């Protein structure tokens, strides 16, 4: 009986150690960064990442800049076609994949697996970046008024806007990134449990430059 109790307790301990937990992000620091004109001057793609982990503040500010809530009515830093808010950001890190929850400024656990290899899709430099933001448009949120093709175009434009927020935030704060369309879409779709209406469009590996 004692042995059984020991095994059950050990299993419970191992399971709770492996359980992926929600990550509470910090409030965004809205006074950081350079001017818009300097950020535009600095913006360029960089692919040589240091493997140093992003600080919680950098990750929090990055996600808020990408598509955080910037008004009391719940609207975001990025515009959205028909205000359907179709863009979801999946945060891919060594510790697992998370979904950005803008309302609660938190990361919701999706899967405790390192999916950076699937984001890399043949471009190995991506695996060195501590974080990749995978931008997904859920075109079902547009409804059926327009054609699927039109909804996909609107989704791609909305993702492009979020992507540029990321590019400019990085340029303004000394982080590095590159906007990418390449990734192992089928593998990511499975691991992130996406539906056929959730289209993987772009990703941005983000990190610090190599010294």
Interface with ligand FMN (CB under 6 A): 44-45, 123, 178-182
Cβ at position 163, least distance to ligand FMN in Å: 8
Cβ at position 121, least distance to ligand FMN in Å: 8
C-beta of residue 75 within 8 angstroms of C-beta of residue 41: no
When the beta carbons of 104 and 182 are compared against ligand FMN, the nearer one is: 182
Cβ at position 180, least distance to ligand FMN in Å: 4
When the beta carbons of 29 and 182 are compared against ligand FMN, the nearer one is: 182
Cβ at position 38, least distance to ligand FMN in Å: 16
When the beta carbons of 78 and 102 are compared against ligand FMN, the nearer one is: 78
Cβ at position 56, least distance to ligand FMN in Å: 27
Give the Cβ contact number of residue 125 at 10 Å. Answer: 13
Q: Please calculate the CA angle 20-100-173 and round it to the nearest 5 degrees.
A: 115
- For residue 36, how many C-alpha atoms fall within 13 Å in the half-sphere facing its CB? 2
When the beta carbons of 24 and 44 are compared against ligand FMN, the nearer one is: 44
> What is the Cα–Cα distance from 86 to 82, expressed in whole angstroms?
10
Q: At what angle do helices 56-67 and 148-173 cross, to 10 degrees?
A: 140
> What is the Cα–Cα distance from 117 to 124, expressed in whole angstroms?
8
When the beta carbons of 76 and 180 are compared against ligand FMN, the nearer one is: 180
Cβ at position 10, least distance to ligand FMN in Å: 45
Residue 201's φ and ψ, nearest 5 degrees, are -110, -50
When the beta carbons of 117 and 179 are compared against ligand FMN, the nearer one is: 179
Beta-strand pair 87-93/23-24: unpaired
Q: Please calculate the CA angle 209-180-42 and round it to the nearest 5 degrees.
A: 45
Give the Cβ contact number of residue 6 at 10 Å. Answer: 10
């Amino acid at each position: 009986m004692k042995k059984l109790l020991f095994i059950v307790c050990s299993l419970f301990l191992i399971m709770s150690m492996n359980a992926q937990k929600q990550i509470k992000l910090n409030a965004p620091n809205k006074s950081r960064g350079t001017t818009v004109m300097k950020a535009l001057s600095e913006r360029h793609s960089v692919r040589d990442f240091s493997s140093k982990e992003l600080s919680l503040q950098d990750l929090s500010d990055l996600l808020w800049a990408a598509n955080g809530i910037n008004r009391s009515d719940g609207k975001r830093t990025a515009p959205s076609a028909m205000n359907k808010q179709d863009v979801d950001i999946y945060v891919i890190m060594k510790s697992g994949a998370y979904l950005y929850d803008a309302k609660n400024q938190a990361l919701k656990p999706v899967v405790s697996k390192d999916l950076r290899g699937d984001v890399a899709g043949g471009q190995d430099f991506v695996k060195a970046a501590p974080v990749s933001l995978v931008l997904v448009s859920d075109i079902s949120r547009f409804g059926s008024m327009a054609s699927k093709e039109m909804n996909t175009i609107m989704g791609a434009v909305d993702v492009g806007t979020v992507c540029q927020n990321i590019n400019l935030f990085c340029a303004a704060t000394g982080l590095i990134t590159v906007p990418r369309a390449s990734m192992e879409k089928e593998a990511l779709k499975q691991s992130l449990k996406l539906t056929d209406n959730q289209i993987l469009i772009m990703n941005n590996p983000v990190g610090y430059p190599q010294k």
